Amino acid sequence: VAVTLGLGFLLTAIGTVLLKQKPEEKIGPVFHAIGGMLIPGGAVVLLNELNIDFASLWPVALTFGTIFLFYMLLDWMQKNAVLTFFAIANGTAFIYLLVQSIIDEPFYLHDDLYAYLTMIIGASYLLLAYAFRGGWNKQLLGALNFFGSLGFLAAGFSRVFDSQPWQMFYFLIVIGGLFLSAYLRTRAILLVSTLFLIAHVSYITGEYFADSIGWPVALIILGFVFIGLGYVSITINKKYIKQATP
Q: What is the pLDDT of residue 187?
A: 87
Q: Which of 181-195, 207-221, 224-238 has the lowest mean pLDDT?
A: 207-221
Whether pLDDT at 222 is above 90: no
| Of 45 and 246, more confident | 45
Work out the pLDDT band at 52, boundaries 50, 70, 90. Answer: confident
Q: What b/e string do you get for 73-103 counting C-beta neighbours within 10 Å, with b at 16 or more?
A: ebbeebebbbbbbbbbbbbbbbbbbbbbeee
Whole-number Å distance between alpha carbons of 154 and 201: 14
pTM: 0.87
Are 91 and 63 a contacting pair, CB within 8 Å?
Answer: no
Work out the pLDDT band at 246, boundaries 50, 70, 90. Answer: very low
Q: What is the pLDDT of residue 245?
A: 45
Contacts of 141 (CB under 8 A, 6+ apart): 129, 132, 133, 186
Whole-number Å distance between alpha carbons of 178 and 229: 11
